[in-house]
Structure 1
Amino acid sequence: MARLSTRQGAERHAGARPAGAGPAGARHVMLRGALAGLGLGLLWGVAARVWMRLMNPTSPEFSWAGTGMILTMAALLGLGVGLLAAAKVKGARRWWRLAVVPGLLIFASQGLLFLPAFALGGLVLTRRHWALRALGAAASVAMVVVLGVLLGGVDEETMTTLPTSALVSGVVGFVLLSAAMAAAGSVLYRPWAPRTRSASIAPMGSAEVAAGEGALAT
């Protein structure tokens, strides 16, 4: 009887799934990734909007519609990055890379300044070859220099330049926003976890069942 119980327990173990490996666990991973990405994307969008407003306090170009567009695009990119990060953690299919594509609209127009930080800056935070990390750092630093030159130039309409305090705050704000964008971009270069399937558990379960059958035979 004891040997029969051993065999039954081995069979139950063979059909069992590890915690979090089932469909429900996978959905929870994806949901957490989506919510985290959405929240961080919105936070970045708010910070970027405040930064732009500080750089142009009297500009009539700013509107609630524009603010809503920035927040929407930032949230969309954050959502895509969060989904991709979760997909890599749980070893999902590679087509989850496409989740990032809709959010790339944020790099249109003035957002283009942050594209190098997202596309290449993330390499700095990975374990890739030092040359690739150097490329990512160079691309990010180059955009800081470009922004400094743009902000330090003379406004063609007013023929004035930004005060030093505004120039410094603009560059510092850009560096912080770019660092956050690089952290998001690093998800693109993270490795994919191996896919977890119930079939991969079969050899272990089969071995235990065979051991139980051997015990019954003796």
Structure 2
Amino acid sequence: MEDVMLFGMVISPFVTRVEIALKLKGIEYKYVEEKAGNLSEKAIKYNPVYKKVPIFVHNEKHISESIVILEYIDETWKQNPILPSDPYEKALARFWSKFIVDKLMNAARKAIFYHDEKELEQGIEETTVALQLLENELKDKFFGGDEIGIVDISAVIIAYWLPIIQEAFGLKLFTSEKFPKLYNWSQDFNSHSIVKELLPPRETLMTNYKGVYERHVASK
């Protein structure tokens, strides 16, 4: 039997990405819960560069960074692929997954953790542009077509985390009025039987992000 482990934290969308991929492929794994700011010695040993989760371990081979882990999982276990087989479609899926990480999430962070009104406005504008690009890209029920693919999994932070974060911080970044296709996608994605069982409790995330918001306001 293969030795598969995942070091994670229940509040992390990056960890949830990996869990969704593992469950979609029917891969058994051992989950190890870590504490924010106080990683175990083993976790630090497996990820000495970034010292953060998720950390994926397969037969003592350890890998970090959620998108890298998703691609490794897809290439190692061929059943229920999350990346397209066509080279061009695969490149596009990788592009949009990277876009969510590099563009959209950075823009949202700017809006959430702004230092002044100018940065807040810039963050909201950049997030709106990024969400609109994803809205335009969505052609089917999921980004992966009729089935969940790597772009959908990468965008779990939009589907589940962003609505909670924006409520905790008093923002309106992602609404059904502005982005109807993306909103409907988020409902379908969150309701998927595998995704639904892996999403952390809403109350847990709301409590966490309200605390983050209070600390942010106090630091300004």
Indicate the TM-score class for this superposition, using the shorter chain for normalisation: 0.3 to 0.5
> TM (normalized to structure 1)?
0.34
Larger Rg: 1
Larger relative contact order (CA 8 Å, sep ≥ 6): 1
Higher strand share: 2
TM-score (norm 2): 0.34
